[in-house]
Amino acid sequence: MRNPVTTQRSGPVRAQPRLREAAETSPGEVIPGAGPTGKPREADPDDPPRYAPEWLQLREPADAAARAHRLLDPLRPRLADPSGRPGRVVIHDLGCGTGSMGRWLATRLDGTQHWILHDHDPYLLHFAAASFPRVTADGSRISVETRRGNIARLTPDILQGASLITASALLDLLTREEVATLAAACAGAGVPALFTLSVAGRIELTASHPLDEEITQAFNDHQRRDGLLGPDAVTAAADAFSEHGATVRLHPSPWRLGPEQAALTEQWLRGWVGAAVEERPGLKAEADVYLVDRLEACAAGELSVTVHHTDLLALCPAVGGAS
């Protein structure tokens, strides 16, 4: 995979790009990213799958509600200047997508911030930069820079001068080797890392159904395809950071989806069942009936879903100091 190769600093704030609403998709259509996502033929073989901005936009409110606010308390002292006041921080957002992580975090931190947004998709980078907040919680200035390229093989040199590395829904898309390399880069630069919304491999649906567990297992196996960590990612990352002397904190960050999130639940259901069937084709006949039943319950406002995730904060020892 390539290191970031293109850097752009944002200019004046522009109007937020308009996205096609998820509701405009055809009935039964799965938005790319909600379900199995193939690579376009022209993509670099090392590029990760591409995700439709409509999916990222649809899930953003649920992501924001789920992230573990409590992990910010042990992080803030590492971002303060020697006097203990908020200092200027440089934050790298890996696989930024449409910028939802930054929109959630930037306004929860005080002090001047410079965000470096990393993604392989130039359109997502454009959207993220154009829609990024420009002031922090205390009214300080936020500046934004974009870097196009893959981010799984970052080095301490690339992270030189960083105050924080962050990402959302990223770790489960990496291999064990890539997570180890990422942890080594953060530790080598002496920079803390906050990774949110990694899948935990557990789903709860109300009311329960005999096929729930089998589909969950098949989906988890699909997540582990091609050596990806899937639901094993948080454990692997915690071990990798701990080996470098980091203090690691974990906190649950579940999606809790009810009638108010019906559009997201519908897309998630289609993608979840679709991935399970792709992994185990023998499930198709039963899974088709199961999906229809679940979608009918969703449309009637009778379905609640908890999709478990885990947030991870790794406080790497500062270079030349303690964590």
What are 304's two structure tokens? Answer: 């609640």
Query: 276, 296, 297, 298: which is closest to 286 by C-alpha?
Result: 276
pTM of structure: 0.86
Instruction: Give the model's confidence band at 9: pLDDT under 50 very low, under 70 low, under 90 confident, else very high.
Output: very low
Amino acid at 216: T
Q: How far apart are CA 320 and CA 120, in angstroms?
A: 33
- Rounded to a whole number of angstroms, the CA Rg of the chain reads 20
Q: How far apart are CA 313 and CA 136, in angstroms?
A: 21
Three-class DSSP category at 252: strand
Over residues 38-73, the pLDDT tens digits come to 443 334 445 544 678 899 999 999 999 999 999 999
pLDDT at 281: 97
Q: How far apart are CA 296 and CA 316, in angstroms?
A: 47
Pair type for strands 193-206 and 304-315: antiparallel
List of residues 6+ apart from 250 with CB closer than 8 A: 234, 238, 310, 311, 312, 313
Q: How many CA atoms lie within 13 A of 129 on its CB side?
A: 23
pLDDT at 149: 79
The mean pLDDT value for 20-39 works out to: 58
Q: How far apart are CA 33 and CA 60, in angstroms?
A: 13
With a cut of 80, say whether residue 140 has pLDDT above it.
Answer: yes
pLDDT at 12: 35
With a cut of 50, say whether residue 280 has pLDDT above it.
Answer: yes
Over residues 206-252, the pLDDT tens digits come to 999 999 999 999 999 999 999 999 999 999 999 999 999 999 999 99
Please, what is the average pLDDT of the chain?
86
With a cut of 80, say whether residue 26 has pLDDT above it.
Answer: no
pLDDT at 137: 86
What are 77's two structure tokens? Answer: 């002292």
The mean pLDDT value for 282-290 works out to: 97
What are 88's two structure tokens? Answer: 């200027």
